[in-house]
Amino acid sequence: MNQQKRILAVDDEPHMRRLLEISLRQAGYQPIVAENGQEALRILRDDNVDLVVSDLHMPVMDGLKLLEAMRTENIEIPVIIVTAQGEIASAVQAMKLGASDYILRPFDLETLEIGISRALSITRLKLENQFLRDEANQSGKSLTSKCLIGESPGICKVHHAISQVAAEKVTVMITGETGTGKELVARAIHQQSPRKNSLFVAVNCAAIPSEMLESELFGHERGAFTGAVKERVGKFELADGGTLFLDEITEMPISLQAKLLRALQEGTIERLGSNRPLSVDIRVLTATNRDPMHAIKEGKLREDLYYRLNVFRIDLPPLRDRLSDIEILASHFLKKRNISIDDNAIRMLQSYSWPGNVRELENVLERAAIVCGGHSIHVQHLPSDIHSNNDIHHNLKSKTSEAAQHTASLSLPDAVQSLEMQMITEALNQANENKSRAAKLLNISERTLWYKLSRYNLTNH
- Please give, one letter per residue, the 3-state secondary structure of 365-432: HHHHHHHCCCCCECHHHCCHHHHHHHHHHHHHHHHHHHHHHCCCCCCHHHHHHHHHHHHHHHHHHHCC
In sign, the C-alpha dihedral spanning 256, 257, 262, 268 is positive
Q: Is the pLDDT of residue 142 over 50?
A: no
Backbone angles phi, psi at 331, to 5 degrees: -60, -40
Q: Is the pLDDT of residue 275 over 90?
A: no
The rounded distance, in Å, linking the Cα atoms of 364 and 383 is: 7
Residue type, 203: V
Q: How many residues does the chain have?
A: 461
Domains present along the chain, CATH in parentheses: 2-123 (3.40.50.2300), 155-317 (3.40.50.300), 322-382 (1.10.8.60), 386-455 (no CATH)
Torsion angle of C-alpha atoms 231, 237, 243, 248, degrees rounded to 10: 50
Q: What is the DSSP string of 74-101?
A: T----EEEEE-GGGHHHHHHHHHTT--E
Question: Percentage of the chain with pLDDT > 70?
Answer: 87
Rg of the chain on CA atoms, in Å: 31
Residue among 266, 293, 305 nearest 282 (CA): 266
Assessment of whether the complete model's pTM goes beyond 0.85? no
Q: Is the peptide bond before 106 cis (omega within 30 degrees of 0)?
A: yes
Planar angle of CA 136, 141, 143, nearest 5 degrees: 100
Q: Residue 79's beta-bridge partner residues?
A: 52
More confident residue, 389 or 313: 313
Residue among 186, 438, 166 nearest 449 (CA): 438
pLDDT category at 188 given cuts 50, 70, 90 is very high
Find the range with the poorest average confidence among 166-175, 201-210, 230-239, 358-367.
230-239
Q: What is the pLDDT of residue 146?
A: 44
> 428: how many CB neighbours lie within 10 A of its CB?
21
CB 33 within 8 A of CB 77: no
Buried b (16+ CB within 10 A) or exposed e, 231-264: bbbbbbbbbbebbbbbbbbbbbeeeebebbbebe
Q: What is the mean pLDDT of residues 290-302?
A: 94
Q: Is the pLDDT of residue 403 over 60?
A: no
Q: What is the mean pLDDT of residues 225-232?
A: 73
